[in-house]
Structures are given as C-alpha cells and as structure tokens.
C-alpha cells in the first residue's frame, strides 16, 4: 500500500499536487538545545494517504520532531518539505494554513467555551476570520464545517457542553475535532491516547482509522502496541536518530528495536 | 471561571428569542433612565453623570483588551490624552467644528495606538502591561515638556464648540444637551463594541485570551489580531478623551499621567471584565463612592483609605466584579 515513491522532488513546483509527491519529507533535520542534540539528521518521507507512526522511548525526540513540523521549534539545520513546498522555519499559524494540523499531548482546548465553539473557532480560521460586523453564529458554512468535525469525532451530542465538563477521553477527541476543523491534508497526533482507559484507547484508535480514509496521519506514540494494527509504516526514533523504519511486521522483528524497547 | 450555570437554566429551544428580548428590554430601560436623568438631576449631579459616562467609555475601550484579548494595558491614559490634545489642538488652531475636533482627536489617538501596538504586542502578560505603561509615560513627558505646542503644565484651554448637525441644528451646548451628546456617543460605542466582540474577529480575540499558542496553531496570525485590537481599543479611548475635552473645555497633562490608566483598570476590575457594560458600572460605582466618602468625611480626611477598603471588599466578595455574574449571558 505504501511503496516508497522514488520521484525526485528537487523541483517541487513542477509536480505539486501530483499523487506521487510525498505529503511530507524531512531532510537531515537536526535540532540542538545547547550541547544536546535532540534530533540529529532525521530524514523521513511519508506518502500521501499514509498513516505513519513515530515511536520511541521517552526522550527519543518524538515531540521535538513534532514541534519542528508544526512550527513551534525552528530546526537547527535540515529541511521540511510539505506537499512539495518547503515549510522549514515557518510560524505555526502559517503551517496550519498550509494544511498541517496537530493535536496536543497535553489537552489544550478552550475550557470556558463549548465543544462546538472550540471546533467553530478552528473552522473559522479558513474563512470570515477578520469579519467584525456579523454575529459569529451567523455563518452556515462555518457552523457546517464545525458540525462535520464534531460528528467525525463522535461529539455532536455534546456540542453545547462546556469543554471543561467533558471527560478526559472526550476532551482528547475534541482535540482531534479541532484539528480536523482546519481541514488539514496532514494530521499530526501527539500521543492521542495518553491517559486513556483501554476502552477509550480502542475507541480513539477506531476513530483515527475512520478519519485516515481521507487524510495522511502522523501519530507519535510511546506505546508500540497501540499503533501496530493502525499504521502503514513505523519510524523508530532513539536518542534523536532514526533507529529503524519499516512496516509494523518488520519493526516488530527488528533486533535493534527489540533491544531498545526491552532495555527501557 | 465564567458563570456557566446561568446558561443551563435557560431551555435551549427558545433561549435565543428569550435572551434577545430580555437584553433589549433591559437596554431600553437603562437608556430611558439615562435620557431622563439630566432633566431631573441638579447641575452638579448632571455633570457628574456625564463624566461617569465618559470614564465608562474609557474603561469599556480598555475592556476590549483586558476582558476580550487578555492583555492588561496601562497605556490608556496616552490614548485618552492624545484624544484630548488632538481635539483641543484642532479647536484652537484649525476650526471651531466639533466634528473636525473629534476627527483630529481620533486620528491622534489612533496614531499613538498604532505606535504602541506595534512594539508592545510582541510581549505578553506583565511585559505588555509594563511596555504600555512606559509608552504612556513617554507621551506624558513629551506633552509636559513641549510647552510651545501643548501648553506644558498649564495644558490647553479653549471655548467649547457648538453642537452642530449641518443644515439642521446649531446651538451652544447646555449641560443637558452635553449629557445627551455624550450618552449618544457612548451608546453608539457600546453597540459597535458589542458587535465587534461577538463577531468572528471578536471570537479570535477571546480565543487568544483563553489560549494563545493554540490560537496560533489553528492558523491565526496572533500578532496582527493583537495590533488591531490595541488600535481599536485606543481609538475608543481617544473618543473618550475628545468627549472629556469638550465637556471641560481644556486638555491637561494630568490626564496623560499613568494614574488615569490605573483608574481605568480599576473600573474594569470593579465592574467585571469581559462584559463591556461592567466597566461603565465600575466607573460609576467608583466615582460615586469617592464622592460620597469625600462628603462624608470632609476634604481634610484621607478618604482614599476607606475607598481602598471598599475596593478590597469587592475583590474578595465579588472577584468577577459587579456584573461578572452576567458575563456569559451578555456576550451571547
């Protein structure tokens, strides 16, 4: 399903939007914090429509990698190419507008707004954002998008509940709903099941599977078992380097990976 | 944090109609009282009420920043002062037109706001507050020392312009028509700000207040929204300055001093931030309490001490301010 595309993307403008262009490509991405190399020379290539997991023990650089992709951190060196367009060093609002959405590891919603308002403000970032004269509730297109996103994460019946009153699992799903409402091409999920019960974890993984039909998804996970049945390929990070990459089966049998995971 | 239970008691089905009707009935009642008030009140209290409305407008303008965008500005004295001096300068040097004076005051305030906004919105929280404070003090020093233009310590004194509506009306202000004029401007400002805060733009500001990194992550250029927010806020603060200058026929450097900004923040805290009307109520409450305490204890007594006690009591007993309980309801 996810054969590595072998096309040369050195002239991205020529082939932009073609199905064969990788949705995401990082070239020798490095981040240093003083003397500490949080990421060193990470090159990852993700095909359009792929579900990719980034796994690795604590401190492997997963979140750093994520923060680079979403513009929170500026890489020390290396390039990030998204959908044939270089996005290295852009600020997070620009990266969002290009089509990368993220959910946060720590639940990061607007607690005093309802679930619907949370999703609507995200949908509104693509249209009518500067309108100062109409009531915010008056736009059928925004409300429609918000409703679609809430339905996708199964929270439509909680639409008018304050976000702070939702359960932990529901808040995590609302996170995904907010990301979906920005109509991304690539959805980045940072440990979407952290702190969830087994039942909630299974539900969320089903949810991710459902939305994966129309999206490329990048999942950062601590727990290998969670992503095994879900993703097309897995990249294993260890001490900021790519330790291994391959299908879930290959990764499960990779002696280097087993060693790292058994040791920690 | 907000008054969530209030919303739950209203059935969702016909809440919209009920809410709107109740709001406009309340609005009409308050307006009726404020329109009739100058006809009943004696001269002193008439002027007192007019000034409360002007301070209320200043406080309301800073509520756009404090209550909606989540930035505490200590620079509003500068915007207020430049509105004053812009209007005074126009009346002395250009023409006797009230409307031209208003325009000049607004332009001066907007220019100052753009300058302050450009530099201060990169900073957050206390750093933003301090930066705005410093900028307002810079404006104070300029106004205080540039005697040839601003009159220095003495300020500018001018004769009050006529209230003119071209081809229709032209007459001297009386204290009653002054009150109605101020009331009209403050009411229009309130309705504009209410629209603004409930618009998609206003929702972005509130999202910035709640969670700035998140707002950026979903695609909003946060700095630009903050700059526009400071500018709009400064514009309405300048309008309050114009009204104050016209009401009192002078522009004085005292009002550019940062204490004015401090009062503005206090009005917001007392009245309830994020409500727009709360700051007006806060201004009224604070001014009334000061006036009554001064009368009760006499001018010699340090009446600011009991006033401080009242302020502390409100912070402890009503941490959301006098109208904080209605915050969510007022913003629907």
State the virtual CA torsion across A95, A97, A98, A102 in degrees, nearest 10. 60
Is B331 part of the contact surface with chain A (CB cutoff 8 Å)?
no
* Per-domain residue ranges of chain B: 16-256
Note whether A185 contacts B: Cβ–Cβ < 8 A: no
Domain-located, residue A205: no
| B2 with A93: Cβ contact below 8 A | no
Express each pLDDT in B231-288 by its tens digit.
999 999 999 999 999 999 988 898 989 899 999 999 999 999 999 999 999 999 999 9
* A143 and A221 together in one domain: no
pLDDT value at residue B190: 96
Assess whether A63 and A111 both reside in one domain: no
Could you tell me if B218 lies within 8 Å of chain A, comparing CB atoms? yes
- Is A31 found in the same domain as A120? no
Contact A39/A75 with Cβ under 8 angstroms? yes
Which residues from A are below 8 Å from B13, CB to CB? none
Residue A84 shares a structural domain with residue A123: no
**Helices (runs of H) and strands (runs of E) counted in chain B:** 15, 4
Please indicate, yes or no, whether residues A95 and A221 belong to a single structural domain of this protein.
yes
For A153-211, the pLDDT digits (tens) are 989 999 999 988 998 888 888 999 999 999 999 999 988 888 888 888 888 888 888 88
**Touching check for A98 and chain B: CB below 8 Å?**
no
In a domain, A208, yes or no: no
The whole-angstrom distance between B310's CA and the closest CA on chain A is 30
Residue spans of alpha helices (H) in A2-109: 12-15, 62-69, 92-98
Looking at the DSSP assignment, which residues form a beta bridge with residue A114?
A162
User: Number of Cβ pairs closer than 8 Å across A and B?
Assistant: 92
Q: Is B14 a residue whose pLDDT tops 60?
A: no
Residue in A72, A96, A112 nearest the CB of B219: A96
Q: Does B162 touch chain A (CB under 8 A)?
A: no
Domain membership of residue A85 (yes or no) is: yes
Q: Is B1 on the interface with A (CB under 8 A)?
A: yes
Contacts of B195 in chain A (CB under 8 A): 132-133, 135
User: For position B230, what pLDDT does the model report?
Assistant: 94
**B17 CB near a chain A CB, below 8 Å?**
no
Alpha helices in chain B (DSSP H): 4-8, 15-40, 43-63, 76-89, 98-120, 125-145, 147-150, 175-198, 200-210, 212-217, 222-248, 258-271, 277-297, 304-317, 327-330
Percent of chain B with pLDDT over 70: 95
Q: Cα separation of B125 and B201, whole Å? A: 21
Is residue A14 pLDDT above 60, yes or no?
no
Does A107 or A165 have the greater pLDDT score?
Answer: A165
How far apart CA B223 and CA A239 sit, in angstroms, is 35
- The CA-based angle A173-A179-A182, given to 5 degrees, is 145
In a domain, A30, yes or no: yes
Q: Nearest residue on chain A to B191, judged by CA atoms?
A: A133
Strands A51-55, A36-46: pairing kind? unpaired
The answer to whether A128 contacts B200, with C-beta atoms less than 8 Å apart, is yes
Tell me: pLDDT of B194 over 60: yes
Report yes or no on whether pTM surpasses 0.80.
yes
Question: Cα B129 to chain center, whole Å?
Answer: 17
Q: Is A81 on the interface with B (CB under 8 A)?
A: no
B5 touches chain A (CB under 8 A): no
CB–CB contact B217 A126 (8 Å) = no
Q: Which residues of A touch B204 (CB under 8 A)?
A: 121, 124, 129
My answer on whether A125 and A171 are in the same domain is yes
DSSP strand pairing (A77-82 vs A51-55)? unpaired
| CB contact B207 to A (< 8 Å) | yes
Given an 8 Å threshold on Cβ–Cβ distance, is A133 in contact with B216? no
Q: Could you say which of A135, A139, A178 has the minimum Cβ distance to residue B218?
A: A178
What would the pLDDT profile of B97-126 be if each residue is shown by its tens digit?
Answer: 889 999 999 999 999 999 999 988 888 888
- Residue A200 in any domain: the answer is no
Residues A121, B207: C-beta atoms closer than 8 Å:
yes
Domain hosting residue A179, numbered range: 106-183
Q: Is residue A67 part of a domain?
A: yes
CB atoms within 10 A of CB B76: 33
Categorize the per-residue pLDDT at B16 as very low, low, confident or very high, splitting at 50, 70 and 90. Answer: low
Q: Which chain A residues are closer than 8 Å to B215 by Cβ?
A: 121
Residue of B217, B225, B227 for testing the chain A interface, max A β-carbons within 10 Å: B217
Question: Per the structure, how many domains does chain A have?
Answer: 2
- The answer to whether residues A93 and A10 belong to one domain is yes
Contact A121 B12 (CB under 8 A): no
CA distance B245 to B237: 12
Residues A110, A94 share a domain: no
Task: Render pLDDT for B40-72 as a digit per residue (tens, 0 to 9).
Answer: 999 899 999 999 999 999 999 999 999 999 999
The answer to whether residue A204 sits within a structural domain is: no
Residues A74 and A132 in one domain: no
Is B12 at the interface with chain A, CB within 8 A? yes
What tokens appear for B1 in the block? 């944090």
Same structural domain, A116 and A87: no
Q: Which of B219, B236, B328 to mutate to test the interface with A (most CBs of A within 10 A)?
A: B219
pLDDT of residue A12: 42
In chain B, residues with a C-beta closer than 8 Å to the C-beta of A129 are: 200-201, 204, 220
Q: Is the pLDDT of residue B327 over 90?
A: no
User: Which residues in chain A (3-62) have CB-CB distances under 8 A to chain B?
Assistant: none
Contacts of B221 in chain A (CB under 8 A): 91, 93-94
β-pairing verdict for A233-238 and A51-55: parallel
State the average pLDDT over residues A247-262: 85
The mean pLDDT of A49-55, rounded to a whole number, is: 91
Residues 196-215 of A with CB under 8 A from B: none
Same domain, A12 and A34: yes
Look at residue A110 and tell me if it is in a domain.
yes
pLDDT(A228) > 90: no
Q: The domain that contains A250 carries what CATH number?
A: 3.40.50.300
Residues 6+ apart with CB under 8 A from A240: A31, A37, A38, A39, A40, A42, A60, A61, A64
CA B330 – CA A246 distance, rounded (Å): 56
């Amino acid at each position: 399903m996810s054969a590595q595309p072998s096309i040369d993307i050195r002239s991205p403008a020529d082939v932009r939007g073609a199905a064969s262009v990788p949705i995401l490509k990082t070239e020798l991405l490095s981040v240093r914090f003083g003397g500490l190399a949080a990421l060193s020379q990470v090159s990852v290539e993700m095909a359009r429509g792929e579900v990719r997991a980034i796994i690795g023990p604590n401190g492997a650089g997963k979140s750093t990698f994520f923060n680079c992709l979403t513009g929170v951190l500026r890489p020390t060196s290396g390039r990030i190419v998204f959908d044939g367009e270089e996005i290295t060093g852009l600020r997070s609002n620009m990266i969002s507008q290009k089509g990368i959405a993220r959910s946060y590891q720590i639940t990061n919603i607007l607690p005093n707004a309802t679930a619907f308002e949370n999703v609507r403000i995200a949908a509104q970032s693509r249209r009518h954002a500067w309108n100062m004269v109409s009531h915010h509730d008056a736009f059928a297109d925004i409300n429609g998008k918000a409703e679609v996103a809430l339905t996708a994460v199964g929270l439509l019946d909680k639409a008018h509940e304050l976000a702070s009153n939702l359960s932990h699992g529901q808040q995590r799903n609302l996170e995904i709903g907010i990301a979906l409402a920005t109509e991304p091409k690539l959805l980045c999920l940072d440990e979407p099941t952290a702190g969830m019960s087994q039942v909630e974890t299974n539900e969320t993984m089903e949810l991710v599977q459902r939305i994966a039909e129309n999206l490329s998804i990048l999942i950062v996970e601590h727990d290998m078992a969670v992503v095994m049945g879900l993703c097309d390929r897995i990249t294993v990070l260890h001490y900021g380097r790519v330790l291994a990459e391959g299908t879930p089966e290959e990764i499960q049998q990779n002696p280097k990976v087993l060693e790292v995971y058994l040791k920690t | 944090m907000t008054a969530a239970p209030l919303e739950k008691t209203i059935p969702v089905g016909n809440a919209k109609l009920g809410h709107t009707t109740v709001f406009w009935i309340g609005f009409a009642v308050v307006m009726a009282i404020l329109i009739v008030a100058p006809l009943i009140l004696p001269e002193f209290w008439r002027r007192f009420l007019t000034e409360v409305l002007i301070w209320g407008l200043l406080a309301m303008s800073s509520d756009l920043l404090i209550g909606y965008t989540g930035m505490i500005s200590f620079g509003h004295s500068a915007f207020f002062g430049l509105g004053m001096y812009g209007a005074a300068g126009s009346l002395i040097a250009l023409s006797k037109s009230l409307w031209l004076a208003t325009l000049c005051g607004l332009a001066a305030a907007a220019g100052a706001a753009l300058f302050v906004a450009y530099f201060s919105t990169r900073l957050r929280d206390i750093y933003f507050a301090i930066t705005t404070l410093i900028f307002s003090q810079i404006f104070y020093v300029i106004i205080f020392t540039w005697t040839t233009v601003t009159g220095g310590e003495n300020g500018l004194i001018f004769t009050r312009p006529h209230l003119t509506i071209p081809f229709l009306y032209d007459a001297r202000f009386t204290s009653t028509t002054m009150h109605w004029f101020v009331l009209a401007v403050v009411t229009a400002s309130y309705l504009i700000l209410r629209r603004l805060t409930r618009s998609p733009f206003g929702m972005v500001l509130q999202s910035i207040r709640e969670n700035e990194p998140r707002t950026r992550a979903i695609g909003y250029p946060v700095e630009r929204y903050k700059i526009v927010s400071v500018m709009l806020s400064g514009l309405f603060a300048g309008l309050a300055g114009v009204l104050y200058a016209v009401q009192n026929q002078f522009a004085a450097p005292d009002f550019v001093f940062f204490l004015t900004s401090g009062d503005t923040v206090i009005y917001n805290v007392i009245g309830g931030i994020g409500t727009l009307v709360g700051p007006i109520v806060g201004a009224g409450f604070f001014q009334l309490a000061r006036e009554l305490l001064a009368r009760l204890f006499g001018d010699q007594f340090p009446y600011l001490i009991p006033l401080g006690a009242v302020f502390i009591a409100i912070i402890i007993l009503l941490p959301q301010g006098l109208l904080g309980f209605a915050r969510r309801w007022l913003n629907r």
